[in-house]
């Protein structure tokens, strides 16, 4: 699939009504991830159902390779 065909298909896919999203950053109910919030909540719910932590888990930050910029999300 070419990049242009993928972009044409992507233009037709809408998961959230843009009219229901608050775009004003000064609004106290503004949410940066409003378009994907439903996906994040669904993943959190499913992870909570199927993953039961029975011990304390720790991730050493030096073991994870990081390439990129800081994201405030």
pLDDT tens digits, residue range 51-65? 777 777 776 666 666
- Flag whether 68 is in a domain: no
Higher pLDDT, 45 or 16: 45
pTM: 0.49
Domain of residue 35 covers 16-51
- Flag whether 4 is in a domain: no
- Flag whether 23 is in a domain: yes
Q: Which two tokens stand for residue 13?
A: 């896919």
Say how many CA atoms lie within 13 Å of 53 toward its Cβ: 6
Helices (H) and strands (E) in the chain, counts: 2, 0
- Flag whether 26 is in a domain: yes
Mean pLDDT for the chain overall: 81
Overall number of domains in the chain: 1
Determine the Cα angle at 29 with ends 26 and 32, to 5°. 80
- Flag whether 39 is in a domain: yes
């Amino acid at each position: 699939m070419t990049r242009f065909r993928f972009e044409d298909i992507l233009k037709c896919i809408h998961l959230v009504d843009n009219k229901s999203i608050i775009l004003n950053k000064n609004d106290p109910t503004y949410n940066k991830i409003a378009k994907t919030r439903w996906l994040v909540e669904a993943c959190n719910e499913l992870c909570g159902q199927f993953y039961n932590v029975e011990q304390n888990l720790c991730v050493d930050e030096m073991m994870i390779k990081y390439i990129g910029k800081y994201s405030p999300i």
